[in-house]
Structure 1
Amino acid sequence: MKIFLHISALALLAGLPALPAAAQMDGQLGEEPLIVDPMSSARDAMARGDPAEALARYLRVLARDPGDLDALSGAGSAALAVGDADAAINFYVRAEKISPRDGRVKAGLGSALVQKEQPRAALRLFDTATDLGVAPYEVALDRGLAYDLRGDNRKAQAEYALLLRVRPNEAEASRRLALSLAMSGDRAGALAILDPLLRKRDIPAWRARAFVLAMTGDSAGAQAAAYAVLPRYQADALKPFLERLPSLKSAEKAAAVHFGHFPEDKVPLEMAASSPVASVKASPAPNTPPPPPKSAKPAFDSTGRLVMKVDTLAAKAGSAPMAGIAGDASGDGAPTAAEQRASDARSLAEDRRAAQKKAAAEKAAAEKKAKAKEEAQEAAKAKKANPSRYWVQIASGSYKPDLDKEWDKQKSRHGKLLSGKSPWTTPFKATNRLLIGPFASSDAAQDYVNEARAAGLSCFPVTTSAGQKVERLN
């Protein structure tokens, strides 16, 4: 069963992934190159360690084509990376219907089931994935965790070792291997595995060290390690859990250190008052204070420090994290399973809406950039077709079709001056210029103006800028 307030701290120390991060994506668009291939952009986001961004990209593809196999698989992987196993299962199941014999889909679904603590089903999927051509080392990390959850540490350690032979710098494999060794009683081996990571100040490795010491009986050392990475009040809350770890079976240790779960019949007597549902064997005394509320799902901030949030029920009651609250009809003060499922569903829906909102904003930004680029190209074409040129204006008119008549009139009056010249027009404010030219230079245009004025033709030079459209009159 899930231990509530204190167990959430345990889960945090275990390094549980944070809540889905899609809701954090709003307002992060910024300036970026025009997106030509959302799939490629999503893969790039995963490669640089931004699964929330990748999930938003994949959702854009799926909004356009819900049956895109690559996008479904990628979305499943990104959802797993942000800690949303339920969403990952949804994506992988849809992908499996499209391609029932895709080994990578089977492997992804297996990894999601490991996060849902269903190791038996996960192991079957991993076996199927390797039969369909997936390299064994690619599923080794989560297959190892599945074996640990089954209590088979020897097989788990073999899987972690296989992955480390291929990828020696895989930090998560090293941490899981150390925890698995501690579950089987090998403290020295576990600490030796963690030592390089500890020297690099790897925060998850320090959390793993606390569990290694606790599982192998060094409660004092485990508590000191907890104080090194957690605030004092949270480390104090963890003390009874760290003391209880050595008495658990191997599979129970795996569930405790990886997911923050203790078996119901293993809840110590002194913890009964802190458990929302105390076991029959460890019922609290009549004067025991009411149990604390279930804490919210755990998360880490950007520095690796854990963040604990009290459940909304406690906030409404105005209680502190360790204070008692008035229970519901069942007397346990915790939300019912149905309420929790509804809350989780709302959270997932909010995350998806946030991801869709960002995807829509990105699409609008991409379209705006595309339009701006198109306009720039059109402007460049216009400048090329209409370079800066030199003219002489001989008349103007607000009604463009009447310029032909004006040209005929001017030509009848100054036929000699306008002989060999062709009429052109360009708009200017609320009127239209009647031009002749173009001339080779501004000096040439000015020389013509001087000559024309001497002959009685009222005119003046005009220079049109690059891109300004000048049309020839018929």
Structure 2
Amino acid sequence: MFARPILLLAAALAAPLFAQIPQDSVESEAPAPAIIPGDALSIARAAATRGDQAEALSQYLRVLSTSPNNVEALAGAGRAALAVGDVNAATGFFARAEDLAPNDGAVKAGLGSATVQTGNGRAALRYFKQALSLGVAEASLAEDRGLAYDLTGDSRRAQASYQLALLGRPGDPTTTRRLALSQAISGNLPAALTTLDPLLRKQDIPAWRTRAFAKAVTGDVAGAEQDAAAVLPANQVATLRPYLARIAALKPSEKAAAVFLGRFPQPANRTLVAKAIPPAPRPVVTPSRTVIAAATPLRSDFALAPSAATPAPQPEAAPPLPATVDDSPALRAQRRAVAAANAKDLAAKRAEALAAQKKKADQLKAAAEAKASRSNPARHWVQVAGGANKADLPRAWTQLKAKWPGQLGSRSPWTMHYRFTNRLLIGPFPTADAAQDWVGERKKEGMTTFRVSTKSGEAVEKL
């Protein structure tokens, strides 16, 4: 697939510096437009790199609207959807990518990261194992693999995975908080508090909430309530109190599901129930102090999930379940109705957010195009030479002026990139006819040149 571009490049590099295009060529009348950088896929990559996951998701969806089988866009959309908290959408994107590219390690890793957020640690570990066998770097999936180990009750391997992730990202807050909770789940509260200490010293609010849960899983309910009261409103502390009291009695895997995903087992049959752990209220920083803003709708991952530059809108949560769960048909029907309403509301908010992102992107693109047009309006030129190496053009211009002093002595050289070469131009001329007249006069004198017209926005710079 690379043969044709390589041959074209080789031909361009081998061409003489003064190789000319015939005057009557199609290019002299209508030069091909310059390639415009910044297509949706590259914009999506850039947005993902800088952490703007909502913008990345919007751009990946734009690619998929015209290329639904683009594996890179599907995997990218999966990662972005996961980052903004839409696990179902992420799973769908990764599953489609897996159908198209069953041996893509990055896709397998993405499926593992999405699966672990559903609470299925064993299935996630299978995906991570497949990703490793396909060449994915172990450190890149170590954090989510650690969570998968915790969800299966294997705290020792979980902590080893978190430590591996921290080798590549020292001090990463999310990984550090997960490691501390894992240490607490295994019964080592002192180690958990030591792990959290650097974040606590930075007044990291999620770390204080993590400390509350670390104390709860080791049985220090009073200490957990005290820490929770320091960073959460009183009504949320009251909501949490029965859950903090129950966590210590759970199995290690159940503790992990509770503190990482907000999933508590029912007393009767251990079936996972609706999410109940409140989220972190977002801190509002003022010049003199940090205060806690009013709580947003409840989420189970209380800021342990990866953060996104632009969070996706979250649905209103169902009322917290009591410590003794009423699982009557009427209540189940009520929960289903609430879930359906929440899903509909979330879909509407997501569509609104994506529309806003698209509008913003279109405005930025229009502004960039307007700026490019002001800097480089449509103009008319004459090409006197061209070369693959831009650095050779000044020397070429000096030789040309020496050979044609009367024709070029009073002119200034300009250049623009075109395909695999660089044009050496003079001008601009007031009209296309003026440029063509100059070409005609030079032809009579034995000088080969041709006219070039540039469109608005095509960059031409002084040599």
TM-score calculated relative to the size of structure 2: 0.61
Using a 3 Å threshold, how does the CA distance of structure 1 residues 97 and 199 change in structure 2: closer, same or farther?
same
Using a 3 Å threshold, how does the CA distance of structure 1 residues 266 and 254 change in structure 2: closer, same or farther?
farther
Query: C-alpha distance in 1, partners of 2:109/2:316?
Result: 37
Query: C-alpha distance in 2, partners of 1:227/1:249?
Result: 26
Structure 1 equivalent of residue 344 of structure 2: 346
Query: C-alpha distance in 1, partners of 2:205/2:182?
Result: 18
Does residue 335 of structure 1 match 2:330? no
Structure 1 equivalent of residue 222 of structure 2: 220
Within-5 A mapping of 1:392-407: none
Within-5 A mapping of 1:23-422: 36-265=38-267, 300-301=281-282, 303=284, 306-308=295-297, 330-332=329-331, 335-337=334-336, 339=337, 342-343=340-341, 345-347=343-345, 349-354=347-352, 356-358=354-356, 360-362=358-360, 364-365=362-363, 368-369=366-367, 372=370, 376=374, 379=377, 381=379, 384-386=428-430
Using a 3 Å threshold, how does the CA distance of structure 1 residues 233 and 146 change in structure 2: closer, same or farther?
same
Superposition deviation, residue 91 in structure 1: 0.7
Q: Once the two structures are superposed, what CA deviation does each residue of 1:399-420 show, in whole Å capped at 9, x if it has no partner?
A: xxxxxxxxxxxxxxxxxxxxxx
Q: Which amino acid aligns with 1:307?
A: T
Query: C-alpha distance in 2, partners of 1:178/1:252?
Result: 16
Using a 3 Å threshold, how does the CA distance of structure 1 residues 35 and 345 change in structure 2: closer, same or farther?
farther
Q: Once the two structures are superposed, what CA deviation does each residue of 1:75-100 show, in whole Å capped at 9, x if it has no partner?
A: 11110000111000111111111211
Q: Which has the larger radius of gyration?
A: 1
CA RMSD in angstroms comes to 3.7
Asked whether the equivalents of residues 298 and 307 of structure 1 are also in contact (C-alpha less than 8 Å), the reply is: yes
Query: C-alpha distance in 2, partners of 1:99/1:187?
Result: 44
Q: Once the two structures are superposed, what CA deviation does each residue of 1:282-327 show, in whole Å capped at 9, x if it has no partner?
A: xxxxxxxxxxx9989957546475323799899xxxxx9999xxx9
Asked whether the equivalents of residues 114 and 142 of structure 1 are also in contact (C-alpha less than 8 Å), the reply is: yes
Unpaired runs of 5+ in structure 2?
Answer: 1-35, 285-291, 300-314, 381-426, 432-463
Q: Once the two structures are superposed, what CA deviation does each residue of 1:159-206 show, in whole Å capped at 9, x if it has no partner?
A: 112222332222222111111111111010111111011111112111
Superposition deviation, residue 215 in structure 1: 1.1
Structure 2 equivalent of residue 271 of structure 1: none
Using a 3 Å threshold, how does the CA distance of structure 1 residues 60 and 223 change in structure 2: closer, same or farther?
same
Q: Once the two structures are superposed, what CA deviation does each residue of 1:138-178 show, in whole Å capped at 9, x if it has no partner?
A: 11111111111111111111111222233222222211111
Using a 3 Å threshold, how does the CA distance of structure 1 residues 212 and 267 change in structure 2: closer, same or farther?
farther
Aligned length: 323
Superposition deviation, residue 348 in structure 1: 5.3
Query: C-alpha distance in 1, partners of 2:148/2:317?
Result: 34
Asked whether the equivalents of residues 60 and 356 of structure 1 are also in contact (C-alpha less than 8 Å), the reply is: no
Using a 3 Å threshold, how does the CA distance of structure 1 residues 47 and 360 change in structure 2: closer, same or farther?
closer
Using a 3 Å threshold, how does the CA distance of structure 1 residues 233 and 363 change in structure 2: closer, same or farther?
closer
Instruction: Pick which of 361-370 and 240-249 moved more.
Output: 361-370
Asked whether the equivalents of residues 262 and 276 of structure 2 are also in contact (C-alpha less than 8 Å), the reply is: no
Query: C-alpha distance in 1, partners of 2:377/2:50?
Result: 37
Superposition deviation, residue 233 in structure 1: 1.4
Asked whether the equivalents of residues 149 and 255 of structure 1 are also in contact (C-alpha less than 8 Å), the reply is: yes
Using a 3 Å threshold, how does the CA distance of structure 1 residues 195 and 328 change in structure 2: closer, same or farther?
closer
Unpaired runs of 5+ in structure 1?
Answer: 1-33, 269-275, 278-292, 315-319, 388-474
Q: Which amino acid aligns with 2:90?
A: A
3-state secondary structure, aligned to 2:228: helix
Query: C-alpha distance in 1, partners of 2:108/2:142?
Result: 14
Using a 3 Å threshold, how does the CA distance of structure 1 residues 222 and 367 change in structure 2: closer, same or farther?
closer
3-state secondary structure, aligned to 1:261: coil
Superposition deviation, residue 266 in structure 1: 6.8
Using a 3 Å threshold, how does the CA distance of structure 1 residues 114 and 205 change in structure 2: closer, same or farther?
same
Asked whether the equivalents of residues 61 and 71 of structure 1 are also in contact (C-alpha less than 8 Å), the reply is: yes
Asked whether the equivalents of residues 56 and 355 of structure 1 are also in contact (C-alpha less than 8 Å), the reply is: no
Q: Which amino acid aligns with 1:173?
A: T
Asked whether the equivalents of residues 126 and 143 of structure 1 are also in contact (C-alpha less than 8 Å), the reply is: yes
3-state secondary structure, aligned to 1:247: coil
Q: Once the two structures are superposed, what CA deviation does each residue of 1:348-384 show, in whole Å capped at 9, x if it has no partner?
A: 5435533552464356436644763675477452794
Query: C-alpha distance in 2, partners of 1:158/1:295?
Result: 29
Query: C-alpha distance in 1, partners of 2:142/2:82?
Result: 16
Q: Once the two structures are superposed, what CA deviation does each residue of 1:92-119 show, in whole Å capped at 9, x if it has no partner?
A: 1111112110001000011100111111
Query: C-alpha distance in 1, partners of 2:177/2:115?
Result: 20
Using a 3 Å threshold, how does the CA distance of structure 1 residues 222 and 59 change in structure 2: closer, same or farther?
same
Asked whether the equivalents of residues 144 and 159 of structure 1 are also in contact (C-alpha less than 8 Å), the reply is: yes
Asked whether the equivalents of residues 189 and 215 of structure 2 are also in contact (C-alpha less than 8 Å), the reply is: yes
Using a 3 Å threshold, how does the CA distance of structure 1 residues 54 and 222 change in structure 2: closer, same or farther?
same
Q: Which amino acid aligns with 2:261?
A: F
Asked whether the equivalents of residues 150 and 253 of structure 2 are also in contact (C-alpha less than 8 Å), the reply is: yes
Q: Once the two structures are superposed, what CA deviation does each residue of 1:200-244 show, in whole Å capped at 9, x if it has no partner?
A: 111211111001111112111111110111011111221121111
3-state secondary structure, aligned to 1:36: coil
Q: Which amino acid aligns with 1:386?
A: P
Using a 3 Å threshold, how does the CA distance of structure 1 residues 297 and 54 change in structure 2: closer, same or farther?
farther
TM-score calculated relative to the size of structure 1: 0.60
Query: C-alpha distance in 2, partners of 1:322/1:158?
Result: 34
Q: Once the two structures are superposed, what CA deviation does each residue of 1:252-290 show, in whole Å capped at 9, x if it has no partner?
A: 11111111111101799xxxxxxx99xxxxxxxxxxxxx
Using a 3 Å threshold, how does the CA distance of structure 1 residues 148 and 367 change in structure 2: closer, same or farther?
closer
Superposition deviation, residue 332 in structure 1: 2.4
Asked whether the equivalents of residues 78 and 110 of structure 2 are also in contact (C-alpha less than 8 Å), the reply is: yes
